[in-house]
Structures are given as structure tokens and as C-alpha cells.
Amino acid sequence: MQELEAGGAAGCRKDFPLLRRVFHGRPLVYLDSAATSQKPEEVIAAEVEYYSRLNANVHRGVYALSEEATDAYEAARARVARFVGAKDPEEIVFVRGTTEALNLLATSWGRRELKKGDRVVATEMEHHSNIVPWHLLRGTPGIDLEFVSITDDGKLDGPDFDRKVIRGTRVLTMTHVSNVLGTLNPVRELAEKAHDAGAMVVLDAAQSAPHLPLDVEKLGVDFLAFSGHKVLGPTGIGVLWGRKELLGKMEPYMGGGEMIVEVGPREITYKDPPYRFEAGTPNVAGAVVLSRALDYLEKVGWEEIQAHERDLIRDGWEQLRGTFGDSIRVYGPRPSDGHHAVLSFTFPRIHPHDVASLLDADGVAVRAGHHCAQLIMKRYGVPAMTRASYGIYNTREDTRQLVESLQKVVRLLGTP
């Protein structure tokens, strides 16, 4: 494939300066994009440009520079709204990342709306950031938290979903794409069922936003969260999208400047969303630069990205299975079954930590551990997995290097 030779989706690899670094004398093979993505030159330049030309606090100054900064910040909000298919920029709340978005939601919506014994359903494939904020509500107000189980091939168990998402369920919260199994969940269908049962639907899009176009209307969800740093943007900026009527009923999350209309000694009136949830000086640079990262992604184009990444996963699955056969266990659905962006695997009796250490010696960066998804580790009965995860800039050659290094590991640590 031509585009592969050029490197990455539509030849974009050359735009990522960090990928030229060398570790232990070997060029970096970066296979940890599910943890965080690398950034293209344009995005890095946008950060410099912001601080060189635009920096001022927002919503405060009456001088021209502050107005420019405010305009850029609000333009970023509109850009993000377009990215997720939201009608109204005011449905976009800027936060630090997916974790903060989900905590904000569970706290501001959950503490007010949920009562003792209310049923919240998550899935076993959630990242801890979509489990712990709900877990915290088990104490007060005392919700009942259930988890939809996973099948052997890494999909949500349909019959178990129907058993758990019963009439009267208040919340269904689930990930769009699993950060361990690569599963793409059938969100629209599940959201419809959940709505029929009376539940509100929350989508963790941290692992889908970098890989496929989002459209909150088509997905049919009520809230959605993602992180800037996983979509080629900077750290410290993320997004909570919520339906206006739901955001409007929520209490503030943090208190401070910029989120109030009037403060008296005894009473306070709060601004409307999204400002109600953006106390203090926001991450203006983060929002502005994030919008440039989204521009970059869409410039490369979703069709290119999806075709390229489908090819990487199909090829990666085949290389791993083809080379190691039955001695490797690769998790998640088959590539033809919507497997996205991450390949997690284990070798019997070789600890993932050793695998990652030894791969590092060859300049191959992968993640080993529980990947903040201990329910998945429990489900498959392993303490940890090794995970290679892909971004738009990866190539089949990256996988080839991974496999070559893995062969050395197996030779060294495999049982004779």
C-alpha cells in the first residue's frame, strides 16, 4: 500500500517530530498511543503561537488582547462541538480530561439526581475513570452499581446486558472503544435499549475520539467525554459534552471565579452551562491548541485514518498470531469484528512487565500492566497484559519490529 510506504495515514508520520527520537541506539517504535498520542508539528507550533501572540485571561479584560483570547477560546468550543456533532457550543464543557469529565458528571448530576438504591450500570470493560466516580456514589447516596459482563472474545454480553439494564435503571455508562480489548461497542443500539428502560446514557469516548468520527446525535447518548492528549492535542484539556437540558439541571462541580452571576454573603447565583462548570482560569491554550489538533485529524481525513488503522490491526493480529501461534493469547474481538487500535496479549508464564522491559531495550515502547482496567484482568484471569496500541502515524513496520523483539523475549524467557 502506497500510504504505508509514505508512513502513517496519508503519509502523516513525518509530521511527528518525536517519532524521530532514538532510544538505546534504536529509533523509537511508539506503540503506546492509547496512553497518549504524539503531536504533529502543527499542534506544537500552535502552542508556541498561542503564547507568542494571543495569551491573556479570558472573559475578563476589556482590552483587545483579552477579547482575542476569549474569541479563540470560544471558537475552540465551537470547533469541539462540530467535532462531536453537537448542535450548540454551549453543550461543550472544557475540563482537564476524560477523568475529570466523568467525575464532574457523577458528582454534579449523580449526587443530585440519584437516590439510595438507584441502579447504575457500567460494563466490565470500563477504564477505572468510568468506575471509580460511580463507585464513590455507592456510599452516599447509596446507589446500586452493576457491571455488564464480557464474552470470551471481548464483547459485551448481550443477554447479560438485558438482565442488568432493566426498567428503572437510572444510568448506563460505557466505553465506546475498550482501551484493552479494542472492542467497538454498538452504542446506538445499547443506548436505545437503555433509554427504553428509562436510563440516561454516558459515553466514554477517550479511545474512540482518536480513531473514528463522533456524532452524538447518531450515537444517541446524553453525555460524552474525551481527552485532548489522546487526539493529538495537549495534556490538561478534555471535553464533557452534555445535552443542554441535562447540563442546565446540574449543580456546579467546583466553585470559584467565572462561574457565578452574583455572590452575596448568603446567596449565590450561578452562570448557565457551560460556564457554571468552568470555575477559575480555564486551560485557554489547551482548548485553542486542541482545536488545531482536531483540524489536523480531519485534514488527514477519517476515511484515510480508518482504512489505515483497520489495516494495522488486521496485519498486527496476523503477525502476532502467525508468529507465535498458540503460545500467544491476543485479547478482544477478531479484526473483522470491529477491533480497534489496541492489541493486548500475554504469553503463558512470561510476565508482561518483563516483556515491556525487554522491548524497551530495542526501542519499542509498549505498556504492560492492568491498564486501569482491573475488571478486565479479573475477567481473563491474568494479573497484567502487554498492550501495543496504534495511532495514525504507525506503520506495519512498527509491528514488524515489535514481533522481532518479542521473538527475542520468548527465546530468553520462554520455558525450554
Q: Does 183 bind ligand PLP (CB under 6 A)?
A: no
Nearest 5°: phi and psi at 299?
Answer: -70, -45
Active site residue 372: yes
Site string for ligand PLP, 285-324 (x = CB under 6 A): ----------------------------------------
Cβ(120)–Cβ(171) below 8 Å: yes
Kindly tell me the sign of the dihedral angle through the C-alpha atoms of 133, 135, 141, 145: positive
Q: Does 179 bind ligand PLP (CB under 6 A)?
A: yes
Cβ(345)–Cβ(330) below 8 Å: yes
CA distance 201 to 104: 15
Q: Is 148 helix (H, G, I), strand (E, B) or coil?
A: strand
Terminal-residue alpha carbon distance, the chain = 39
Could you tell me the CA-to-CA distances from 280 to 59, 72, 123, 211, 257 in Å, in that order?
A: 11, 17, 34, 32, 5
From another protein, ligand PLP, none, interface partner of 384 (C-beta below 5 to 8 A by class)? another protein
Q: Which is nearer to another protein, 116 or 349 (CB)?
A: 349
CA distance 31 to 33: 6
From another protein, ligand PLP, none, interface partner of 127 (C-beta below 5 to 8 A by class)? ligand PLP
CA distance 228 to 220: 22
Binding-site ranges for another protein (CB under 8 A) = 24, 351-354, 357-358, 360-361, 368-370, 377, 382-384, 412-413, 415-416
Tell me the closest approach of the beta carbon of residue 265 to another protein, in angstroms: 39
From ligand PLP, another protein, none, interface partner of 227 (C-beta below 5 to 8 A by class)? ligand PLP
**Which one is catalytic: 45, 361, 372, 382?**
372
Site string for ligand PLP, 210-249 (x = CB under 6 A): -----------------x----------------------
Please give the positions annotated as active site.
372
Interface residue list for ligand PLP (CB under 6 A): 34, 97-99, 127, 129-130, 175, 179, 204, 206-207, 227, 372
